[in-house]
Structure 1
Amino acid sequence: MTETIIKAYTVEEQAIAAKQAAKTLSMLKTDEKNEALRIVADVLESDYESILAANEKDLQKGRESGFEQAFMDRLALNRERIFDFAEGLRTVAELADPVGDILSSWTLENGLKVEEVRVPLGVIGMIYEARPNVTVDAAGLALKSGNAIVLKGGSSAISSNKEIVRIMHKALEGTKIPKESIQFIADTNREATRQLFTMKKHIDVLIPRGGGSLIQTVVENATVPVLETGVGNCHLYVDKEADVEKALNIIINAKTDRPAVCNAAETLIVHNEWLTRYKEELAKSLEEHNITVHGDQAAADALANVLPANENDWANEYLSLDIAVKTVSCMEEAIEHIDRYGTKHSEAIITENQETAKKFMQLTDAAALYHNASTRFTDGGALGFGAEIGISTQKLHARGPMGLPSLTTIKYMMSGNGQVR
């Protein structure tokens, strides 16, 4: 592996360089951006062994530090994962470029023409934790939407991220996109992260992606506008009119497909009538998939080996093969529970009653809602965005998986012929 060398610029110098690069980016044609993304994808694949060698350094430190299995899963790379995020760049290259789209236009009585046009945000500050794939996903989406990006990954993935950025810089040298468009802060000191919080002059928006404490720290301390992503305490509500086969398949998929990600189900809310009818089928399915149940008294009475659930269980993002089980007597009670403990990420109802499903989806406050489907689809790639820079759980500007349009803002452009007011 080629040794990574990143010159020790200050955080402010990197932000200034990104700001300058953003000017060049904003003028590039779609074809020029797409060609650059494809080249970066090719080089990431050809250099995958050096990425794996760097990743092994991070994994070894993780093992020595006793990191939990869920954390190690997010940190780990293999050939397939590297080729997946490289392919994600190619998918982004195929997507429509939102920059320059005219959203609306009209002409005033005096002949002044008004156009509402999509434009890049400018410079994005990205603060994230263990997942090295975020480095590639975030950079790809930023570049395609005409934005420069300043990346601040967690110290646990420092070797992986340095090597990935080195390879992306190498790939960009032969393209129209300046390599300065991707800045990586290699300083693992928390002060370097905090510097990003107040750089309104150079950074246009901050996007934190990681655990609840990271997101809360950014939201509470930043003076730069924040696009808030959220943790995923996702719920499945099994209504009294749920089909048993659909319900069991969705429960197992949402919990076990990849337990360590934010769109995995953490709480199962079950109508007590359904639980009474299908408790044996549910118990067998949970046991077969080694799912540990933390439940209320009714769940403990119906299922085997249930641990008593407490207040922490209802709010917990387990990121493991644990699930909290809450029993209710009506849909409204389920919604009340979600309102109290949910993180406004992804919520699902399983029912054959269309009116019940419609009411649930209208009354439940979340970025993504599902009827008879797994919460695992709350993902930019799964929903056709190519990749995502994060999943927004707020309500301003962007919500849900944030793809290319979410990384733009608007300008009103007026064209006249000497009009004055």
Structure 2
Amino acid sequence: MKDSENIPSLMDDIGARAKSASAQLGFATAERKHAALISAAEHVWRDRETILEANRKDLEYGREKGLSDAMMDRLALDEDRLRGVVDGLRAVAEQADPVGAVMAEWTQPTGLHIQRVRTPLGVVGVIYESRPNVTADAGALCLKAGNAVILRGGSESFHSSSALHACLVRGLRDAKLPEDAIQLVPTRDRAAVSEMLKMTDTIDVIVPRGGKGLVGLVQREARVPVFAHLEGIVHIYIDAEADPEKVLKVVMNAKTRRTGICGSAECLLIHKDIAQTIGRDIVTALIAAGVEVRGDDTLSAFDGVLPATEEDWGCEYLDMIIAARVVPDLDAAMDHIRGYGSNHTDCILTENAATARRFMTELDSAILMHNASTQFADGSEFGMGAEIGIATGKMHARGPVGATQLTSFKYLVTGNGTVRS
């Protein structure tokens, strides 16, 4: 679709159909939703060649746009990644259905029996960039939570997302659930995003998943409530009592496994007492692996380290680049994280349990880790099967947003002719 003048009516229609579908999904049985997700998984695997061919078109489009290597990695699919999509759909299918779960119940002295139960949010709008697997993850999680979803993928992943979306729709059809429960905006035109942000009559919450530019745009312009998923400015603090072997394993994995994901480490903070020993060793190893290290005055004296600028502190590179600085103690490390972090994921490497406890108690990031790679900042690694993103705000959902986090609640109050005196 190319005619921008038709986009408001297009989005109005999509919203109305999503709202209608959400009314039916709100009381759909767990068995129907399970069947839809299992069927969708089977369709993804059966149609993997079609999906990979669509992905090749997107990769060519990405190359023409001059996407970075990290963004191209986010965009790329292969059989292993499609197997991950299939496994994610199956994992979400097998989770307990959150809808209708009793969160708490009690009886008042008046005789009223009160239950607080989980209920769907309604219609979720998801706006995301590049990664086509988000199509499957977001569709599956919203369905599991009884929500209809409107997906607006990035222009780069248009063909891949469309192919994956078709599999989700076939799953809905096979399970006799409304096909409008999972809709993909059928245009690359950015005007569709602007329309979604003001669809207060039909969309209950917007989830942006992408870079700082996208999330900032959504937060500035949205009239619909937003789950904030900000950039991942991920820090690792290497304490004076860190184990050298763990430092090498964790830091190398956290930076180099996949640089284009939000859990990739972007800044090292090294205690001054180990700067010339463990610090030098890990910086040398990073450079040998092809990582560009941008260091403070102390570290830039090491061979191969480039001088850092103020802009390097608080930068999400999503690339083979990392900032590094020496700090005098834990308090200085935490001050740096508070000043430059994004409240996404931060890690401490230490064998001192008390130091680790202070780090994890006094910092307020959505995810805090001790002696573990920040690449684990992922809903599937938290046992959620998949996630719709990492929420860094403090309202409603925080950290990996899975199916349970995509529900609200209501109160069910039962009496027996009970009246208030």
- TM-score, length-scaled by structure 1: 0.96
Aligned to 1:52: 52
Aligned to 1:11: 11
- Report which stretch shifted further, 274-283 or 123-132: 274-283
Question: In structure 2, how many angstroms separate the alpha carbons of the residues matched to 1:239 and 1:385?
Answer: 31
1:122 maps to amino acid: G
Question: In structure 1, how many angstroms separate the alpha carbons of the residues matched to 2:368 and 2:353?
Answer: 14
Aligned to 1:370: 369
| Residue pair 1:269, 1:326 contacting (<8 A) in 2 also | yes
Q: 1:219 to 1:280 in 2, by over 3 A?
A: closer
Report the secondary structure of 1:114's partner residue. Answer: strand
Aligned to 2:352: 353
Q: CA deviation at 1:305?
A: 1.2
Report the secondary structure of 2:412's partner residue. Answer: strand
Report the secondary structure of 2:381's partner residue. Answer: coil
Q: CA deviation at 1:222?
A: 0.9
Aligned to 2:146: 146
Q: After TM superposition, which residue ranges in structure 1, 4 or more long, deviate above 3 angstroms?
A: none
1:162 maps to amino acid: S
Percent identity of paired positions between Structure 1 and Structure 2: 43
Question: In structure 1, how many angstroms separate the alpha carbons of the residues matched to 2:236 and 2:89?
Answer: 32
Instruction: Find out whether 1:327 has 2:326 as its counterpart.
Output: yes
**1:210-359 equivalence runs, <5 A:** 210-301=210-301, 303-359=302-358
| Residue pair 1:17, 1:180 contacting (<8 A) in 2 also | yes
Aligned to 2:169: 169
Q: CA deviation at 1:187?
A: 2.1
| Residue pair 2:52, 2:77 contacting (<8 A) in 1 also | yes
Aligned to 1:131: 131
Q: CA deviation at 1:65?
A: 1.8
Question: In structure 1, how many angstroms separate the alpha carbons of the residues matched to 2:284 and 2:108?
Answer: 68
Question: In structure 1, how many angstroms separate the alpha carbons of the residues matched to 2:303 and 2:127?
Answer: 42
2:312 maps to amino acid: D
Report the secondary structure of 1:59's partner residue. Answer: helix
| Residue pair 2:37, 2:168 contacting (<8 A) in 1 also | no
Question: In structure 2, how many angstroms separate the alpha carbons of the residues matched to 1:368 and 1:228?
Answer: 15
Question: In structure 1, how many angstroms separate the alpha carbons of the residues matched to 2:353 and 2:194?
Answer: 48
Aligned to 2:97: 97
Aligned to 2:85: 85
Question: In structure 2, how many angstroms separate the alpha carbons of the residues matched to 1:95 and 1:160?
Answer: 26
1:358 maps to amino acid: R
| Residue pair 1:385, 1:403 contacting (<8 A) in 2 also | yes
| Residue pair 1:19, 1:148 contacting (<8 A) in 2 also | yes
Query: Deviation string for 1:355-405 (max 9, x for gaps)?
Result: 111111111120000111111111011111000011000111111011111
Q: 1:283 to 1:161 in 2, by over 3 A?
A: closer
Q: CA deviation at 1:164?
A: 1.7
Unaligned stretches of 5+ residues in structure 1: 1-6
| Residue pair 1:26, 1:147 contacting (<8 A) in 2 also | yes
Query: Deviation string for 1:100-120 (max 9, x for gaps)?
Result: 111111122221111101011
Query: Deviation string for 1:279-311 (max 9, x for gaps)?
Result: 44224322331211100001112x211111011
1:360 maps to amino acid: F
Query: Deviation string for 1:159-188 (max 9, x for gaps)?
Result: 111222123223322213211101111122
Instruction: Find out whether 1:155 has 2:155 as its counterpart.
Output: yes
Question: In structure 2, how many angstroms separate the alpha carbons of the residues matched to 1:176 and 1:217?
Answer: 37
Q: 1:279 to 1:214 in 2, by over 3 A?
A: closer
| Residue pair 2:247, 2:282 contacting (<8 A) in 1 also | no
Question: In structure 1, how many angstroms separate the alpha carbons of the residues matched to 2:177 and 2:375?
Answer: 34
Q: CA deviation at 1:269?
A: 0.4
| Residue pair 1:33, 1:176 contacting (<8 A) in 2 also | no
| Residue pair 1:283, 1:304 contacting (<8 A) in 2 also | no
Aligned to 1:3: none
Instruction: Find out whether 1:202 has 2:199 as its counterpart.
Output: no
1:187 maps to amino acid: T
2:190 maps to amino acid: R
1:332 maps to amino acid: D
Q: CA deviation at 1:250?
A: 0.8
Aligned to 1:31: 31
Query: Deviation string for 1:180-231 (max 9, x for gaps)?
Result: 1011111222221111111121111100000001101111111111111121
Unaligned stretches of 5+ residues in structure 2: 1-5
| Residue pair 2:123, 2:149 contacting (<8 A) in 1 also | yes
Report the secondary structure of 1:369's partner residue. Answer: strand
2:305 maps to amino acid: V
Aligned to 1:392: 391
Report the secondary structure of 1:10's partner residue. Answer: helix
2:345 maps to amino acid: S
| Residue pair 1:58, 1:159 contacting (<8 A) in 2 also | yes
Q: 1:236 to 1:222 in 2, by over 3 A?
A: same
- TM-score, length-scaled by structure 2: 0.96
Aligned to 1:4: none
Question: In structure 2, how many angstroms separate the alpha carbons of the residues matched to 1:280 and 1:206?
Answer: 44
Question: In structure 1, how many angstroms separate the alpha carbons of the residues matched to 2:171 and 2:37?
Answer: 9
Question: In structure 1, how many angstroms separate the alpha carbons of the residues matched to 2:251 and 2:377?
Answer: 15
